[in-house]
Amino acid sequence: MPASAVALPKVIGHRGAAAYAPENTLESLRAAARRGAGWVEFDVKLTAEGVPIVFHDDKLDRTTNGKGAVAVVSLERIRGLDAGSWFGPAFAGARVPTLEEALMLVLAEGLGANIEIKPCPGREAETAEQALGEILRLWPARRPPPLISSFKPASLAVAKSKAPHLPRGLLLYEDGVPTWKQHARAQACATVHCSEHNLTAAWAAEVRGAGYGLAAYTVNDSLRARQLRDIGVQCIITDAPDRIRTAL
């Protein structure tokens, strides 16, 4: 049976509010808060020396003016990169935040958090260990707990061991994955997060019928968001949380 249910919100801002500000930056988290998102989702990986930062890709190239693999670059070098100009000139000088900075902002803004463990290859356990250490150190016990999600069962296993009281979510690229129930059960997940491109009514019914909370990512079309809601999706993860919240 699934772990205790988590109260999923109707909408979560994806990488902050990635339609309005450069993803996974403090600017994006602030944009989500300004636009009324009650929750935000963001990604965590490690620098060369093992510091948790908020970043999605394995390489720096797409969202910064740096190049190469994140896993071999120091925090000092990453902090010197421009993580905003690629999105627009108004965001020139935005930085890659540490997980600590992101958590402090989320807490100050009163937001809920879906924290995705997004390890570079081979760092699945290490990334979860370091991320959970920061979360346990900074997240107040009086606040509703963050939801810890990952595509990587090894990362979720660390989360289960290190912070069993925090709800966990299994991320899936495709529907009908034969091993999904095995992984969700083994890591005592509360939720399953599916790509909206692959999510069918039958798949949604299977997930919900098994007792898991169901989220869909990354949904930026209002009509699609309503269709997903109608087949049982409880939570829409979107780059435009204000627009999708209004549509629902």
Q: Write out the catalytic residue numbers.
A: 14, 56
Distance (Å, rounded) from C-alpha 139 to C-alpha 74?
Answer: 25
Q: Which residue pairs from 120-123 have beta carbons closer than 8 angstroms and sit at least 24 positions apart in sequence?
A: 120/45, 120/46, 120/58, 120/69, 120/70, 120/71, 121/58, 123/45, 123/46, 123/71
Is 96 in contact with 52 (CB distance < 8 Å)?
no
Closest C-alpha to 215, from 200, 195, 185: 195
Tokens at 157, concatenated = 């296993």
